[in-house]
Structure 1
Amino acid sequence: MTSPTEQTIHDQYGYWERAPLPQAAATPDAALAVIGCGTSYNLALSIAAASNAAGIRAVAVPGNEWLRRPQNYVPDWRGATVVALSRSGESTETVAAARRSRDEGLPVVAVTCEAQSSLARLGTSVLYAQTDPAEGIVMTTSASLMLLMGLRHVGATLDVGAAVAAARRLAAAVDGEARALTQDVRHVVYLGAGAAYGVAVEGGLKLQEMSQVFTQAYHPLEYRHGPISLVDTGTLVVMLYGTETPEEEAALVRDVQARGARVLGLGGPGDISLTLGETGATRLLATLPALQLLGERMANARALDTSAPRHLTKIVRIAESA
């Protein structure tokens, strides 16, 4: 029986196709602080990296960090434009950071799936797309929609039609290998470079939320510098290959395989290797549903219900301190 979470993974593509083009676009003279919490921060990592690649300066910052110590991330922070991501538009830290930014006179671009939310009301401009009403605690459609809107905002080249076709193929391929990927796994490592790093972190978060399996995420070559000490036969490594550095990433894959890990290679060699023909932002968006589905299948293997992840709520609200 298909879970509600899995159904939203499969149903998200129509939402991509209907997502409106942004009315606001970042300009080359902007300095962006892309903020969010949890999944939204992971997406911010990819959006900021894609923004820099497109020639617009950007840094990703967790919501509470931007609220409490923005000068640690942007020295002249009062000259920044804040791009704030929140599915609900009600995440306490992000809303508080957006409010402080507006009070300081900074432009705020609200990226959200709730048009009447607190964040949307704070936005100088709003990037809004309706998410699947069936989506529960685990962010699936909303995550891909906010990634899509953020990438468009910073001018990343993105072919939604190609992303939909590639995402369907990749998710189906991962599903076909699900048993081999999830059997006897105790530890999952996600590796991605550049703008793919945020998507790798998000893949790890999804699998950990859904299945309660320990995950880590790193830039690929950082993995040799200590974390590789945890690799054993219970390790699955998910490599999001970069188009610029496939040879050095393939060499790392051989290293972890020699130490007992299984490898899912997305766009390059692995024990299971799946082709990715797309590049850039199109590739980022196309990868996300497959990583979401891998989390669902790991949860299935452990007989866990992904509609009710342990200790999690749909909106994180905390008491604000002065």
Structure 2
Amino acid sequence: MEQGRFTYHEIMTQTEAWNEALDRVEAQRSDLLDLFRPDYEQIIFTGCGSTYYLSLAASALFQQCTGRIARAVPAGELLLNEGTVLRHSPEHSLLIAISRSGATTETLRAVEQFKTRTRGNVLAITNYPEHALPKLADLALVVEKGQEESVAQTRSFASMYVAAVATSLLVGARHADLHAMRRLAEVGARLLHDYAPLAQKMGANLNFDRFYFLGSGIRYGLACEANLKMKEMTLTHSEPFHFLEFRHGPMSMVNNRTVIVGLLSEANLPYEWAVLEEMRSLGATILSLSEADERASVQFQSGIPEIARGVLYLPVLQLMAYYRSLAKGLNPDRPTHLSAVVELGAL
């Protein structure tokens, strides 16, 4: 079997799953609005690995869209250290549990414990309707086209992220932004076509030995996920940081074998470019992604509002990790030591 064929197919076909995610949110519009109607004291997003990073991105975006306080925690922390997450009177809480498989042990146990000890509600976002998580939840968004054969999440992550963003926009009554998400698939397909050579060039260059992914605000969780793809698929030193935080110590690692990937925003563009240019002066190679800045390596040119287009940062970076994995003689479909579903017998 050709190594990486599943991963490549899943990256290249992910825009179909984006559209299905939007369809699912639209089909469950009334149920979603009912679920979010209570004035919850706490709204918590949770997951493991990629879906914890998805939770970081989604909780920040949800808060920005709705003005309602939200936070992200790993499911293992919610399970083992509940007192650091939930308030003493947690019955007015909403838990948004995200899991590709719907069968990850920590997430299932955390949801079961949450339901047993509180009277809060649970929304599940997943890709597999037959597994346990959607059955535990009060409401489930299931994006079946996000299902994957490979271990590292690409299409699944993007599909669930789109569902989370669309839900946030729906609850925040940002109807024009939600409607604009219908253009994402067309733009995503164009980016995959136009920037595949850049992704291959950057990924296959084995002179690079460390990658840092910078993103702030609603982009930080996406930077974390892009970092994880590089780490999982390619066994390369890779770390995520907020833009300005990178200058407080981590920049000491920069040299001429470093790639700095910048997920650029609109409002903070001058500050973010200043960081990237400083790292370039220290010898780093810069790969930047932006809506329309002419200096950026990847330009979306989408016309989609910033709050709604975050998924566009993912495809080119996923492809870069895929090509680096192949260049190193690895199999991106089956990263070292990993499995698609993490099950822990002790839990």
TM above 0.5, one fold? yes
Tell whether the 8 Å contact from 2:11 to 2:318 is kept in structure 1 after alignment. yes
Q: State which of 190, 213, 225 in structure 2 corresponds to 1:169.
A: 190
Q: How far is 1:102 from its partner?
A: 1.0
1:86-235 equivalences under 5 Å are 86-104=99-117, 105-155=119-169, 157-158=177-178, 159-182=180-203, 183=205, 184-235=207-258
Cα deviation, 1:122-179, whole Å, max 9, x if unaligned, reads 1011111103555321112111111111122222634333211222233334322135
- Percent identical across equivalent pairs? 27
Cα deviation, 1:87-138, whole Å, max 9, x if unaligned, reads 1111010000000111122211111111121111110111111035553211
Change (3 A) 1:61 1:112: same
Q: What corresponds to 1:251 in structure 2?
A: 274
Change (3 A) 1:121 1:301: same
Q: Distance in 2 between matches of 1:132 and 1:6?
A: 14
SS in 2 for 1:15: helix
Tell whether the 8 Å contact from 2:322 to 2:332 is kept in structure 1 after alignment. yes
Q: What corresponds to 2:338 in structure 1?
A: 312
Pair 1:237-2:251 in alignment: no
Pair 1:79-2:100 in alignment: no
Q: How far is 1:204 from its partner?
A: 0.6
Q: Distance in 2 between matches of 1:63 and 1:142?
A: 18
SS in 2 for 1:116: coil
Q: Distance in 2 between matches of 1:225 and 1:27?
A: 41
Pair 1:43-2:54 in alignment: yes
Tell whether the 8 Å contact from 1:135 to 1:141 is kept in structure 2 after alignment. no
Q: What corresponds to 1:290 in structure 2?
A: 316
Q: Distance in 2 between matches of 1:280 and 1:175?
A: 23
Cα deviation, 1:219-248, whole Å, max 9, x if unaligned, reads 100000000000111111110001110000
Q: Distance in 1 between matches of 2:148 and 2:81?
A: 37
Q: Distance in 2 between matches of 1:179 and 1:12?
A: 18
Structure (1/2) with the larger helix percentage? 2
TM-score in terms of structure 2 length: 0.87
Q: How far is 1:308 from its partner?
A: 1.3
Q: State which of 29, 34, 55 in structure 1 corresponds to 2:39.
A: 29
Change (3 A) 1:173 1:238: farther
Gap runs ≥5 in structure 1: none
Q: Distance in 1 between matches of 2:210 and 2:91?
A: 42
Please provide the CA RMSD for this pair: 2.0
Q: Distance in 2 between matches of 1:230 and 1:269?
A: 27
Gap runs ≥5 in structure 2: 171-176
Q: What corresponds to 1:260 in structure 2?
A: 283
Q: State which of 255, 265, 273 in structure 1 corresponds to 2:297.
A: 273
Tell whether the 8 Å contact from 1:33 to 1:81 is kept in structure 2 after alignment. yes
Cα deviation, 1:227-283, whole Å, max 9, x if unaligned, reads 000011111111000111000000001110011110111017798622234433432
Change (3 A) 1:258 1:119: same
